[in-house]
Amino acid sequence: MNEKEHKKMEIIELYPELLKFPMLIKYFNLDSDQLLDEKIFVLQEIKAGKKINEIPNFYDVFELMPDDVHWD
């Protein structure tokens, strides 16, 4: 397993943490190879119990989110 595949597997394992934010699930692109480290970081922070405003660049990992959508 190469590094990219390993990171994608880690994201898939952490993905259920997004159930805390059901409105955002549709904006998280599991198929994308972009922002893998950032996605892992955000999902780990969610798992650790951090709030949205405590997670740097939280919204950046939601690649499918239109620019005009704001949610806090």
What does the alpha-carbon distance between residue 55 and residue 68 come to, in Å, rounded to a whole number?
A: 21
Tell me the pTM.
0.90
At 23, list the tokens.
């409105």
Q: What is the pLDDT along the chain (72 residues), one digit of tens a residue?
A: 899 999 999 999 999 999 988 888 999 999 999 999 999 999 999 999 999 999 999 999 999 998 877 665
The reported pLDDT for the residue numbered 34 is 96
The residue type at 61: V
